[in-house]
Structure 1
């Protein structure tokens, strides 16, 4: 743990991270002046809103979504092979980014003709974040809210019970969610997940391209797929960080922290802490699974974990089934913090 002159605490130790994650009475998720449903909520408020969204990720809900997820992945992997069989491609541009968008679009049940507007918004948002252009980000936040308002109206006119329509029908304390609440919830689901799914798909594929023996073990079902994916994403974390704030004076790593101290959990370093993972860069899912914090821990553990697991497992399984040769075709480029994953990943694949 480091403690800067500006009273910012950076957590890089697994034990410290577990203390932060397991003691919500000491470490608050309310770290922004803007509403964040339910990520940036504490205590009963968090529980109330989280209970609203958990049914969307239930065993039944995920089973219902699975056939559509499988069909989409099969179409997109087949199209990738048809387009790039034996060729060198940038996998991030050619597959990872469009796949992350399409799978989230499918899950939400949004109309396809609205996709270009959201794509343009995402590009503008990413550019504003890179520039740290706060005025642009404020304008883009308002624009996103208007997009959600339009998509909510469209969903209410649909006869199909899409996820978007079900979200507009949610009730809390006897009332419908406000537009601000609905926008915050959907922004956490979609915008946040787009980055992590893009990063995860790229990281998994890049790792497999560099480890042909692991590819074959997974094809032969010699290793459990889910645990293998989780271990790859422990070695190369798809999420850069999370934030917390102390709710009262606390002691963390023998350091006394006053109430209100901002804390940043740095996942790439936490997930490679040699005190917990003796060989942090070595693939060893059986040894490391119990301490893997890929989806967090405690009351704020990622509610969308079952959906992410379905998407990543389906993608990896179908990729390995349809591709016999997957290899690097150049030097990958890693994204700069606070982004994570590959910014480019040159690959060559063959059916």
Structure 2
């Protein structure tokens, strides 16, 4: 094993509750960037790994996608969950490496290109207005996360897939239980086997969707996935379902977290809210700043395929590295005043969508959703303030606010 550099602050990466206290989390990440930018983490319940916290090092690891592979450990989970998920046979885009990754990614790529996004914008803008109108109807107080932010992007991604609206609540339950399994409120105390049952139930749903689209092809993304072929052969059942799972879950929770975290940031920085009111032309840079500020994907893992080094630290073949995106997006070497929320920040070299061949497939759609929502909301928002204590999801992978009680006046 490599000679480890151990810093107790690095335990935050394997502590889901650490992500519920952003002040303490970022204090730990700031310390690690300065004193142990590549550190060895070995805690009970998890297989050990290296934690990488600097923007430049994370970019370098992601670029070296043949040396640092997604398989067999694409995300940080408990050792028990690693085994359960391996047994389930999940094979999403985040589990794949080239050349297979490149071929499978191409199946959905056209749905997120500029032409498709221009066509999708009409629907996204309609849904943005629908949910701001909903805020007006249920006001003057609401839990913005649960009543607005989780639903708007869910409706967008389900519309893209072609899932009937009557099934949207079911999809919401799936995503909350899968990405919230480290949070007591969302896991409901379920055992790992029960959580696997949720995953298998989701698989059953999407298997039925695949069969329906193969029997009667349509013009939605679900049909494109169901009827795709790789090397002349249709995708296997597990590969097809895995594709639906990554689109439905990753395309929902990440955007929901950004929208709710973005509003929270504007409430905490009223001068920046006023800047957006005064200059709507800042919306594009504001969207990027919200994404940087929230960084809903907390980490991905990579596994070294040969002995190598990261920032002079020896990493042996077979050892895993965790890429900390919240740390990279506050890196003092990259961002001027990284702890200042600035809706006009330019340039903004955040890596919340990753980097290299695994750059987020749905990045353009996520940006569009955030922009559309706040373009609709801000001109109508007369006032907004907290009406209670915001709460974050306990997680080690994807997350953000789970409750944001607000009091507001809308027109």
TM > 0.5: yes
Answering whether residue 406 of structure 2 is matched by residue 347 of structure 1, we say yes
C-alpha distance after superposition, 1:257-294 (max 9, x if no partner):
11111111122112112222242111346666352112
Tell me which residue corresponds to 2:273: 215
Q: Is the 8 A contact 1:277 1:288 kept in 2?
A: no
Tell me which moved more, 21-30 or 280-289: 280-289
Work out the CA distance in 2 between the residues paired with 1:334 and 1:139: 25
- The alpha-carbon distance between structure 1 residues 186 and 244, as it changes in their structure 2 partners (threshold 3 A), is same
Q: Which runs of 4+ in 1 moved over 6 A?
A: none
Answering whether residue 269 of structure 2 is matched by residue 228 of structure 1, we say no
Q: Point out where structure 2 has 5 or more consecutive residues left out of the alignment.
A: 1-37, 74-85, 184-188
Q: Is the 8 A contact 1:203 1:342 kept in 2?
A: yes
Q: 2:69 aligns with which of 12, 20, 28?
A: 28
Q: Point out where structure 1 has 5 or more consecutive residues left out of the alignment.
A: none
Q: TM-score, normalised by structure 2?
A: 0.79
Q: 1:114 aligns with which of 157, 167, 176?
A: 167
Work out the CA distance in 1 between the residues paired with 2:179 and 2:293: 25
> 1:1-351 residue pairs with structure 2 within 5 A?
1-5=38-42, 7-32=48-73, 33=86, 34-84=89-139, 87-125=140-178, 128-130=181-183, 133-156=191-214, 160-221=218-279, 223-284=281-342, 289-338=347-396, 339-351=398-410
**Structure 1 SS opposite 2:99:** helix
Work out the CA distance in 1 between the residues paired with 2:129 and 2:52: 40
Q: What displacement does 1:7 show?
A: 4.0
Q: What displacement does 1:48 show?
A: 1.2
- Let me know the Cα RMSD of the aligned residues: 2.2
How many residue pairs were aligned? 349
**Structure 2 SS opposite 1:80:** helix
Q: TM-score, normalised by structure 1?
A: 0.91
Q: Is the 8 A contact 2:213 2:222 kept in 1?
A: yes
**Structure 1 SS opposite 2:94:** coil
Q: Is the 8 A contact 2:258 2:290 kept in 1?
A: no
C-alpha distance after superposition, 1:153-172 (max 9, x if no partner):
34456675122122212111
